[in-house]
Amino acid sequence: MAAQLNALGRHLALTGFMGAGKSTLGPAVAERLGRSFVSLDDAIEASAGATIADLFDTRGEAAFRKIEEEVAAALLGRAEPVVLELGGGAVGSQATRDALSRSAFTVLLDIDPDEAWRRVQGSARPLARDPERFRALHAEREEWYDAVADARAHDVEGILLAAAGIHAQLGSLELLGALVPGDGPVEIVADANVAGIHGVTAQLALGDRDVAVHEVPPGEAAKSTATLERLWRAVRIGRDGTLVALGGGCTTDVAGLVAATYMRGVPWVAVPTTLVGQVDAAIGGKTAVDLPGAKNIIGAFHWPARVVLDPGTLETLPDEERLNGMAEVVKTGLLAGEPIWRLPEHEQVRRCAAFKGAVCLQDPYDRGPRNQLNLGHTFGHALEAAAGYELPHGKAIALGMLAALRISGNDEAAAVVREVLAPEPVHVDRDVAWAALARDKKTVGGVPRLVLLEKAGKPRWGVEVPVDEVRAALDSLIRG
């Protein structure tokens, strides 16, 4: 089994040279993850009752490094995961490097030494007093940084993506062989259409590790118990192998559930090739299939070993599929309080994936903050089920958001949905849709619990709304 390639249940450690931005980016990352931010230097000063500069001047660097090692060990030994900012030289200790390997996912903030000097010159840092020594120290520490780095980043989104095990890069499909962890065999589960477009590229990238390809129907038809059973019978890898899901969100849903249940769990890698998959469906480890009249009702939480996002795969996406994805982009932007839908597509993917990855790391089993990601989905899923899953997901979610925003009294956000997505009411059986909504997983005691958005960036979840009001909002989405 490959080493864990994310910060799920582990400390997130930030390392890098002086001036790399750890103390600036760290608190922002911690806030997004709902974790405490801990500065190793601050903890040392609290423990020793002296500043770092004083410790260097009065006790010397060797004594300081011993204190640093002891405090780092204590922090990394804590059970509750935190975002830990390491001092630039902390990873020079073998004991600290070992502790990071056991207890943390470590992200290296790369910085050019000249830029680092520009940022820290004139500060009180004891090792930033001579520019030549400063640059030499940077060169000396590079080996340490390489040894501990599980990932590299340069901004908040990059850190969050790395922490969630998400690799977002143009052309990454061609790098799949290096991105699928381990060295065991790989079997691909692919959308039948996507297999014809990207399947050969994926197979060539995997080389000798690729031992089988299993095709599933395009779209929601893949998410059936029949497909699930067929894949269970066809897959032959052991626990040393990996399933790769290549396709849209429906493909990653069913392949992820196969991986969660086959041999009680094998690793899997999600390679979404649709916008909805890249910004939402493939992230966070929710896997599921449908039953008649109930969407995503049979499933499991099974975090992928890695999610590989290649925006280049979106170039062949039909307009209808792109609109499906835009519904999730708009949803994410409203939750984040930022107009992400106005960004270039590759940046939409990056920002949405980072947002969802952070929320899911904070709440991997959907017991709290992760509920916000269901904005509009209670209504949307009911419409999809009533339409026999022939209604495009994006259209259903766009309509669902209108209903949720109507109940929220948020006309401004509703205007964004109409402007960007232009959803129109659909013709489905009202009673069937209502029955499907009543089976929603978030219904408690027969009373729907909704996600509402009072204003952009301020969601509320688990809100009990009178049944008559919910029914009226659902009916407003249905014509005829």
Within a 13 Å sphere around the CA of 393, how many CA atoms are in the beta-carbon half? 24
Mean pLDDT of 141-168: 96
The candidate with the shortest Cα–Cα distance to 163, out of 173, 172, 151, is 151
Read off the DSSP letter of residue 447.
B
Q: Are 321 and 275 in contact (CB under 8 A)?
A: yes
What is this structure's pTM?
0.94
Asked if residue 17 has pLDDT above 60, the reply is yes
Position 1 scores a pLDDT of 41
pLDDT single digits (tens) 374-433: 999 999 999 999 999 999 999 999 999 999 999 999 999 999 999 999 999 999 999 999
End-to-end CA, the chain: 55
Query: Over pLDDT 90: what percentage of the chain?
Result: 87
pLDDT single digits (tens) 242-290: 999 999 999 999 999 999 999 999 999 999 999 999 999 999 999 999 9
pLDDT single digits (tens) 210-245: 999 999 999 999 999 999 999 999 999 999 999 999
Q: Within its chain, how far is the Cα of 54 from the centroid?
A: 41
Higher model confidence: residue 295 or residue 311? 311
Read off the DSSP letter of residue 3.
P
The amino acid sitting at 79 is: A
Contacts of 347 (CB under 8 A, 6+ apart): none
3-state secondary structure of 183: coil
Pseudo-torsion of CA 48, 51, 53, 59, nearest 10°? -20
Strand positions, DSSP E, 273-349? 286-291, 294-301, 306-309
Q: Which residue has the tokens 């477009």?
A: 197
Question: Which domains can be identified in the chain, with CATH numbers?
Answer: 11-163 (3.40.50.300), 167-317 (3.40.50.1970), 369-475 (1.20.1090.10)
Give the H/E segment covering residue 339: none
pLDDT band at 39 (very low <50, low <70, confident <90, very high): very high
